[in-house]
Amino acid sequence: VIGRSKAEIDTPALLIDADLLEANLERGGRDFTLNGLSYRPHAKAHKSAVIARKQLEYGAVGIACAKLGEAEVLVGAGLEDILVTTPVVGTAKIQRLVELNGSARVAVVVDDPGNAAEIGSVATGAGRVLELLVEVDVGQERCGVRTPEAAVRLAELIEESPGVRFRGLQGYQGGSQGIRGFRERVESVNRSVDRLRAVVEQLGRAGLVAEVLTGGGTGSSPIDVRAGCLTELQPGSYVFMDSSYAEVEWTPEGDPPPFARSLSVLTTVISRSSPQRVVVDAGQKAASSDAGSPVVKDRDGARFSFAGDEHGIVELTDGGAPLLGEKIEIYPSHCDTTVNLHDEFVVTRGDVVEDVWTIDARGKTQ
Ligand SMILES: Cc1ncc(COP(=O)(O)O)c(C=O)c1O
């Protein structure tokens, strides 16, 4: 397929626009390091070693992974500094974690004393020391300790336990990321910052120092770099941009985000009941539906709706009347879950296929 034109790509196919991806990576490298911050991009967005390596070339200090399975794949591909941002629970998984730590620097978040102690004990048995970050619930009500006192107790336990070392705190609030209005997003991010600061102060009183304060995503990043709390950002979606992210106000003046939609699904018209309504070969198995319907690219007024796991309907209002076999591109509403449906990215520059990249950690949810 390399060297061929877009029209010759078999479908459904997951496309990356190489020019836009590179612009996003370059811009991220600048924006996420403002005011001396570091960034550790989240690989849950792309699940691919090629893109993770590019992020390091653009100044990332390491990579974040949602799951141990993702981390195993990236370490296997040569990535050397990983933070697993979801607790790793259960003896079998902890053994995998400790083993992985033998090949790379792999840290993990914890929010439970028993879990931290078990990691310490397995690591001690293997003659290793694992770095742990205490996850603090800064508003999402997902994982994370709920009070500064609980955070301090857990950090103290880690400091006292063999086989583990306290590296810092993670405070991530997914609920802030997609808030459209800039002012409302600032308020939400500030509430999280206050909660994390309260923990840092309490740690200080107990004589403990959090070397790293990690968190934040694409949507909160322009606020996080000015808030003076986090030391490390974990943006994921900026590489591709979900279609809903494009609506978010980036500045107090309401400017759009500086990142472009570089990911799309290429589909083919397989049935044409009328010029205003065609069926394409991409349904829920080619583009995820958890965040709504994809958006049709470059066709004014066109609307995509799912018609099952293998079919999609495109309704057109501009009389564009695509023919049978014609290609239609759609932007996924949620890139992370769409990427997980595909084996590879077809990388295009202009109209020509430049490369094909494996989605190495696709399906690695364990
Ligand atoms: C812990 C954590 N950090 C960072 C991110 C990245 O956020 P975004 O994709 O909005 O940049 C996520 C996304 O779900 C996350 O769960």
| pLDDT tens sequence across 130-140 | 999 999 999 99
CA of 273 to the centre of ligand 1 (A): 41
Degrees, nearest 5: CA angle 30-65-55: 30
As beta bridge partners, residue 102 has none
Q: Which pLDDT band, with edges at 50, 70 and 90, does 119 fall under?
A: very high
pTM for the model: 0.97
As beta bridge partners, residue 138 has none
CA of 119 to the centre of ligand 1 (A): 24
Whole-number average pLDDT of the chain: 97
Degrees, nearest 5: CA angle 126-131-132: 115
Answer whether 328's CB lies under 8 Å from 264's CB: no
Measured distance CA(361)–CA(67) in Å, rounded: 10
Residue 211 pLDDT > 80 = yes
CA dist list (Å): 260 to 135, 291, 337: 31, 18, 18
Nearest CA to ligand 1 atom 3: 234
pLDDT at 128: 97
| pLDDT tens sequence across 141-172 | 999 999 999 999 999 999 999 999 999 999 99
Closest to 138 measured CA to CA, from 198, 219, 180: 198
Ligand 1-lining residues (CB < 6 angstroms): 42, 44-45, 85, 172, 174, 177, 217-219, 234-237
Nearest CA to ligand 1 atom 7: 217
Length of the chain (residues): 366
Nearest CA to ligand 1 atom 14: 174
CA of 181 to the centre of ligand 1 (A): 19
Answer whether 81's CB lies under 8 Å from 104's CB: yes
CA of 202 to the centre of ligand 1 (A): 26
CA of 217 to the centre of ligand 1 (A): 5
| pLDDT tens sequence across 272-283 | 988 899 999 999
| pLDDT tens sequence across 298-328 | 998 899 999 999 999 999 987 677 999 999 9
Closest ligand 1 atom, residue 172 Cα: 1
Closest ligand 1 atom, residue 234 Cα: 4
pLDDT at 245: 86
For 77, which DSSP code? T
Residue 20 pLDDT > 70 = yes
Tokens of 271: 């049935």
For 35, which DSSP code? G
In the β-sheet with 105-110, what is the strand arrangement from edge to edge? 38-39, 232-233, 212-215, 164-171, 130-135, 105-110, 81-84, 63-65
pLDDT at 319: 67
CA of 147 to the centre of ligand 1 (A): 22
Closest ligand 1 atom, residue 86 Cα: 1
Answer whether 364's CB lies under 8 Å from 47's CB: yes
User: Residue written as tokens 């990691």?
Assistant: 119
pLDDT at 228: 97
Nearest CA to ligand 1 atom 2: 172
pLDDT at 244: 81
